[in-house]
Structure 1
């Protein structure tokens, strides 16, 4: 992997000069696609996707131009999902956990405390578990590029207490994204989960509307949540990834060589972006401590057992179906 440091990753060091150019580049292209993402261009996911789009443009001899629109420029997740399904845009990067509202099996990768590390996780997501999710998406005419991009393992931060056991989550007011999986898991711990848009999270923490939140460390860092949070528990309680969806009709209209080129370049981009996130996973804990946060690493087995005791896994097994759940347990071991 190329030599990277945190400043390069988060301040735009990954972005080639062309990645910062206006989207109108390449009027000579025979075919123009639009790719929407909710992350800024300086985030490793958006930056790597833009690099892949540039390579497709060059290697196709300017036949296919993929315009990348970061930072939700084309609308919210719900808006852009509707657009890619209708064919108004051709590509969309979106969280698997958010996609579970439409395609429930995409929640499989985020089941609480299921995965122990990145090696186990990517073995499953590049294998049978990923295939189950891709099939579920294809049933809705959404075709993914071969490899899922990474958002990362999620951690819990609070302003009031250190999290060492499930009991420490009891009666905690915690911000979670909109999604049944988050709400279900934290209610299982006796917490009071509240869905708040991310652009309002900082102020909600600052004014103590909620006392905690959960996100990958890269989000804690870029959102400067360490300014309004004191404790961080490295729980790895859920993993989330971004699927790069393609409108099926638009994909099928591409000449075969261009279809293959798109899949190849965006798979390569996923590998590079995963490596970027691995760097951040190693370096950000020290950064958080330098910013004044107290970090701890709880023993996660007790959290998994607590979820098992209250029937969380049994509930989600019923919701997602025996076959899909069996594929998950084949990768991680028995849960329910």
Structure 2
């Protein structure tokens, strides 16, 4: 199978690219390296891929990619993070909306057997739990708005497609940093002398989904053609409980946990996926327990040099 992955040098994309190469597929990776600044996450498998420094906002960059046809195009490139989108909303429009349109146009010209788009659970508004694919979509940040707009562009494109709404993906390959995810940043905070974990508000919950489980569903995208599916565990985890698990993992006490006021993008307090449709197609999807995923994540952060010490 011949595959193109936009955003293929990032967190989810690099895990997917390595899995595809190791399964014997021809992989083309397109990434502007704006988030990780290198191809390091692709590891040793990089030598068996074709990498192109490509910004999906620039038509000439897309035109410079290898000609099609492609059996699949995985469109993972995006301007990431609700906080950043509030600070720089135009960046999300250019990347997540206009960039998706340009990528779809390229897919049509090149020939694409299946266009796989990763949407976001943040596009859901307040709704009864668990969140169903048919529930209200009331995105509250520019990031969520533009990711939902990308879904609509994909549906209107005329291409064979799959849309996966991902729920709080975490795991190896996700480094800490500004505008990065909560789990690696919590672990990095504890790695500092007297460092503290901050959580925002009480009662918040999320559906934390391990990256290998997400990749497994992405690899089988042909089974979900024409569908929009939640990709999550269906298990609701409190942020407070998550923080306690991380404290315990690193042998730290609760005196290093701070509760701060909710942020502007924390309006949806609880979030968990309805995975009925997902499990109908993939009965064993997304089953990695959070406690196991956290330990694997901490081990990777230590091995990759982001932490001075690993989990206790």
TM-score, normalised relative to structure 2: 0.36
Give the number of the structure with larger relative contact order, counting CA–CA contacts within 8 Å between residues 6 or more apart.
Answer: 1
Q: Which has the larger radius of gyration?
A: 1
- Higher-helix-fraction structure: 1
